[in-house]
Amino acid sequence: MTAETATEKPTTHSVRAQRKAKARISEGKRQERKLGWLLCAPAAFVMIAVTAYPILYSVWLSFQRFDLKFPDQREFIGLGNYATVLTNEYWWTAFGITTLITVVTVAVELVLGMALAWIMFRTLVGRGLVRTAALIPYGIVTVVAAFSWKFAWTPDTGYLGNLFGEGAPLTERASSLAIIMLAEIWKTTPFMALLLMAGLALVPEDLLKAASMDGATGWQRFTKVMLPVMKPAILVALLFRTLDAFRVFDNIYVLTGGANNTSSVSMLAYNNLIRGLNLGIGSTMSVLIFIAVAIIAFIFVKLFGTAAPGSDEGGRR
């Protein structure tokens, strides 16, 4: 940020020619910015204290053989834990399951969320009621919802158990995964819709009217006018949900407990770290999950370029 202000002066003209948005920063504005930084400083400090320290500590743990059950056998083993985890079948199965759940749920949620956002945005009668009703699934505690799904899908106790003939859907891998994804989608589509609705509000009415004057069909107005204007909102929604979905835990924990190979990477890390008390292996998994999440965020920002949150233009106006 400081580098930017320094280089700006000599090339004001060319910059202005290229990007109208970037005006020269006045003295007052600079002061304002400094004050802004000062005001965030305490929050930033606390954030670092409560996030950076645990992250670094788990990285440190991941380089050790350290099992709480055998406290005397603690030793530094470098990347040994990483070799163990990355050559392990359970890890890659869980990784595949997690990726599958992430891709499917986020894709479906984007489509459904868009529809729901449109409904919430366009409703004329009982707008408050419609919006509240749509948000109810997101307001229910995930574990509670997961339990009701579990009972619903269990024959004898539930109304969905015998939907597809005999047998118990939660005892087979494919149907279990489908139910997990269904529960995830049911739960977080409202969240997606909420973020997308904020994007819908950005689309100027005149633009849509002008487009229809020019003879654009409904679909064309949607793809050529609305989507481009909504792009930043869509990105935020996708990014949040992808990162969230990749860490899926509670639904799986309640619905199957990881049976029939339905564990996600978070489940696996929990089993090793909290149940198994293996701080070395468990921390290695946590670090790997952290890296995966960081890569996802990086890809989003790179792939969608300037419109992504955190990049220059999107972040600051």
Partner 1 sequence: MAERSRGPGRRRIAALAAVALLAPSAAACGSDDGGVPVINVYYSTEQSFQKLVDECNQQAQGRYRMVYQVLPRAADEQRVQMVRRLAAQDSGMDVLGLDVTWTAEFASAKWIREWTGQNKEEASRGTLEQPLASATYEDKLYAAPKNTNTQLLWYRTDLVPNPPKTWDEMIKMSQDLKSQGKPYEIDTMGAQYEGLVVLYNNMVASSGGKILNDDGTKAEFDQGAVDALGTLQKFASAGVTNPSFTNTQEDAARLQFQGGSGAFQLNYPFVWPALQEGAPDLKDKVKWARYPGIDANTPSKVTIGGFNLAVSAYSKHPDEAFQAALCLRSPEHQLFSAVNDGVPPTIESLYDDPQLDEAYPFKADILAQIKDGANRPVTPAYQNLSTVLSATLSPPADIRPEQDADALRGSIQDALESKGVLP
Residues that bind partner 1 (CB under 8 A): 34, 37-38, 41-42, 45-46, 49-50, 67-71, 73, 84-85, 88, 90-91, 154-157, 166-168, 170-171, 256-260, 263, 268, 271-272, 274-278, 281
The residues, any chain, with a CB within 8 Å of residue 240's CB and separated by 6 or more, are: 191, 195
Q: Name which of 113 and 258 has its Cβ closer to partner 1.
A: 258
Helix (H, G, I), strand (E, B) or coil at 188: helix
Angle at Cα 240 formed by Cα 227 and Cα 39, nearest 5°?
A: 105
Phi-psi region of 128 (alpha: psi -120 to 50; beta: other; left: phi over 0): alpha
Distance CA 280, CA 28 (A): 52
The residues, any chain, with a CB within 8 Å of residue 300's CB and separated by 6 or more, are: 235, 238, 239, 242, 308
Q: Name which of 142 and 188 has its Cβ closer to partner 1.
A: 142
Q: Name which of 1 and 17 has its Cβ closer to partner 1.
A: 1
Residue 10 CB, shortest distance to partner 1, in Å, is 25
Contact 227, 234 (CB under 8 A): yes
Q: Name which of 67 and 313 has its Cβ closer to partner 1.
A: 67
34: exposed, middle or buried (C-beta count within 10 Å: 0-12, 13-18, 19+)?
A: exposed
DSSP, residue by residue, 83-145: HHHHT-HHHHHHHHHHHHHHHHHHHHHHHHHHHHHHHHHH--SSHHHHHHHHHHHHHS-HHHH
Residue 254 CB, shortest distance to partner 1, in Å, is 11
Residue 312 CB, shortest distance to partner 1, in Å, is 21
Q: Name which of 71 and 215 has its Cβ closer to partner 1.
A: 71
Contact 33, 58 (CB under 8 A): no
Residue 44 CB, shortest distance to partner 1, in Å, is 11
Q: Name which of 10 and 42 has its Cβ closer to partner 1.
A: 42
Residue 263 CB, shortest distance to partner 1, in Å, is 7
Residue 126 CB, shortest distance to partner 1, in Å, is 41
Q: Name which of 23 and 49 has its Cβ closer to partner 1.
A: 49
Show the tokens assigned to 255: 């619905």
Residue 251 CB, shortest distance to partner 1, in Å, is 15
